[in-house]
Chain A
């Protein structure tokens, strides 16, 4: 497949053309006792692309994302990040490699403000020890200021300036999702995993979220991996789609190709036996 250089706006060059594979998953199998959540799944994620994982309920989409994010350890298979084989993945390791994520059920720090949530996302860029922070030594002050500046940049990007000092538990659902995206962005990730970013949103909120996802991809060049139920959204914004069903891969390719794949149609519409 040739590198895609066209952006989502027809006729406009992509700022970050899609490159080679950044993450390669090879024959991943994940079991919980007797339940086979994922069976022998292989696909790759290319740098700077928007990659969607779709499938009916219980297909193993979230499990797949949790494997990439280091929350689950697969029994079989290998994951390679920029050609390097990863073993013993933990969430912390994934974070240090540049993988950030959002959650299906919003996992914000409820009693903190929007600004604090996003600044908390800068965890990997704050090195000052608690003593330096307690005594306000230069490094702590400098890092705090840098965190704030970066957080404000993200706040501006996501157009949430007016709520920056609001406690997140007071915000409507759509905005909370946006703040969670902001917190993930604060980590300056190379790969961003979005678990159903548009679940439970109305049309307007979905459009906003689509725009932000594409903007992030366009502006920061972040590789996006998203799980989504809304077919229209997925087909519109993603470069390539992986389709899972009952823990098996049944389709992989550009949206148009997947749309016409017989197995995929069968999985979604059901098939007469």
Chain B
């Protein structure tokens, strides 16, 4: 069908090692990117842009960071929202204190700050692993938010507790409409996703996976467990920090510690699990699933019952169905949405035959 491996000849290793070896995949990606950059900003409604697409992209980045740490490097962590908070507040402080700083630079620097904090909180991973490490990383979640709350400096002694995010200004041009903000977020997301894909399929990703699958063998090969684990923590926190800064500035439009609570960390964790551990694209599917399914259920129930049934009942029903779907999903495809998509591709390859 659409996917045809037969007839695609690769005559050297470079061709086989491309990001997308199949021509059909490259065309598909081109079409998707073209639509995302040139069509959606002009056609989508403000509601779709600012309430669905922007948070989806931001949280996808965070999920991607979590996936690097959990799916590739095999280090269970529960501190994603803490690093998001660090990124968001770092970004606000950079923009607040350094007037001329362009938004992308501030976002990049706040990612670096989050990465530095990530290295510190990654240190326990050298001693503990699995669920125990998850509990140890919980410290980052509570500690970072507590520090931001406790010390007024981080909010520049703002008494209201909630700081409004600054306008996004890049070299004198301000990006304030939903479509403009969406483009900023989209560009950063695309670049960082490309970088993550390169790392994941290259030597860096192999090192992470080696540590995940068999750390003794990795060490015997000459890999430093210390450096590899901390590198994974740093890069993961960088993505979480950037995602958090974008989340605060383009979606929440305010910077407050309360937004980055433990619930958000858990949601990010679920995104990774449902999207598919150890797959880059799965982070996007997972973020979409967790974020959009409630919205679609809501629309669906409104269309189905309208005003006939009390709103509290429908919203409770939504929750129930959402939970049931997650359980079913984990039973029937524990490897996540990315695996479903892969199975579909493989089936398409030999369609209409079964084998």
Contacts and interface: CB of A to CB of B under 8 A. Distances in A.
B287 to A, nearest CB: 21
B210 interface: yes
A24 B278 CA distance: 44
A152 B13 contact: yes
B203 A143 contact: yes
Interface string B6-39: 0000000110110000000000000000000000
A147 B222 contact: no
Contact of A145 (B14, B195, B209): B14
A108 B278 CA distance: 17
Given A108-B214, A123-B222, A130-B199, A116 B206 contact: yes
A121 interface: yes
A144 B203 contact: yes
B16 to A, nearest CB: 8
Contacts of A145: 13-14, 17
A35 B344 CA distance: 57
Nearest to B277: A111
A111 B199 CA distance: 17
Interface stretch (A9-17, A88-96, A222-230): A88-96
Highest count of chain A CB atoms <10 Å: which of B196, B198, B213, B222:
B222
A71 B220 contact: yes
Contacts of B214: 107-110
B313 to A, nearest CB: 44
B279 to A, nearest CB: 11
Interface residues of A, number: 40
A122 B224 CA distance: 14
B221 A123 contact: yes
Highest count of chain B CB atoms <10 Å: which of A69, A94, A134:
A134
A120 B206 contact: yes
B147 to A, nearest CB: 28
A95 B196 CA distance: 28
B209 A111 contact: yes
A91 B206 contact: no
Contacts of B60: none
A92 B219 contact: yes
Contact of B210 (A91, A109, A136, A147): A109
Interface string A19-35: 00000000000000000
A130 B220 contact: no
A120 B213 CA distance: 12
Interface SS of chain B: helix, strand, loop or mixed?
Answer: helix
Contacts of B278: 111
B159 to A, nearest CB: 41
Interface string A182-208: 010001000000000000000000000
Contact of A144 (B196, B202, B212): B202
Interface in A83-136: 91-92, 94-96, 100-101, 103, 107-112, 116, 119-124, 126, 128, 130, 133-136
B231 A130 contact: yes
Contacts of B204: 130, 133-134
Interface string B207-231: 1011011101111111110000001
B59 interface: no
A134 B209 contact: no
B272 to A, nearest CB: 16
Nearest to A141: B14
Contact of A120 (B16, B195, B210): B210
A100 to B, nearest CB: 7
Contact of A112 (B203, B213, B219, B235): B213
Given A110-B214, A112-B206, A112-B209, A134 B196 contact: yes
B191 to A, nearest CB: 10
B203 A126 contact: yes
A110 to B, nearest CB: 5
Interface in A215-267: none
List the 7 shortest-distance A-B pairs measured between CB atoms, nearest first.
A95-B222, A109-B213, A134-B195, A107-B217, A133-B202, A120-B206, A126-B203
7 contacts: A92-B219, A92-B224, A103-B217, A120-B210, A135-B195, A148-B16, A183-B217
Given A100-B220, A147-B203, A187-B222, 13 more contacts: A91-B222, A95-B220, A101-B220, A108-B217, A109-B210, A109-B218, A111-B212, A112-B213, A116-B206, A126-B203, A134-B198, A144-B17, A149-B13
